[in-house]
Chain A
């Protein structure tokens, strides 16, 4: 495990190697070498199972972090490969030739985050949404509550309470603030 990570660090210049949990290690890799790294892990190191692939939106740093989660059934170890891409130039190399389900994930990311995957099959088809005319919904700047109120409208009389405020004011007015 250690050897492998060291070798990867040498060959692929991976950074931020963190052992997150037992059997889960994550690291960052540059966008250009991501596909080669994944291919290497799949073919040489036995990380044959793509658990999933997803994206985290760090709007404050102006990046999308793509996460590829690979699993090795023999070593019972999972690797989380993080790839940072810029929010302005949101394109990523497609890995649909490596795993058969990868194009589905890429189609979802294309729809939910607007990330482009050139060459990925059916990537521009609708996945979950239909006739979507807003910015991709999973981006942090998309306010789903506001959108829902505008588009669908709420029935008059519906109230939603923030539980903290409700408990403090209505249920336990004498307890005061029990900040922990």
Chain B
């Protein structure tokens, strides 16, 4: 019994490692692809597809001679732990036992917790570096995060009420059977609120003030270098892809295969890019004011909508 359980658990860990590898690679490749799309808008050719991999490799090969204390080293580790933790509880492919990871009954809240966790760990580590730009970047990043988490949380509550479950797998299951069952159709109000929060979450313009290179070069990661930066870049790809998968699961019907996943996540990503290439960035107070106004209102409306229309 115990041996069997252990074996099952081990195979789960193995499967998860595979998922992790695929998602990270996919995230890095998609990052390069997106960079090239942005470059096309700007009239450039852009980076080669292998560039993100080389950058990470180079950063791991770079030497370090600086010490800023233990917390400084742990910052990127917390960050990537947050990324991996988020992915661990997101079922990547619906209906495939292999890529369902550690999804369970209450995984939605665990995922939201992990999304916070990485950022906080990063903030602690960056604060330890003692660089004033880091401190300003953290203040901006965390306040903006608080602002966009509100519409996102409201949207999540709305769909939790709608599907009456806290399990992502079940939420995906409820959306099967054609596009008319997707949350984006059945509960478009919540999706709208969440997509607005998504803009803030991805850190593209107009909500990229926390790492604005023109003002506070480049915010929290100013002092991070070499392998720490490599870890953070790895996490950026992994975490970005995980967020996309989560959004796809919650609002766009999940994916039953890798191709479907790639198409859907890419299209969701493009929402942030289309806005990102055309807009300058908000100041942090303007950004927070933005999130507290329309997206939050839409979020509240989505809960009312669910209560009045869908569950009555």
Question: Direct contact between A and B in the complex (CB less than 8 angstroms)?
Answer: no
**Interface residues of A, Cβ cutoff 8 Å to B:** none
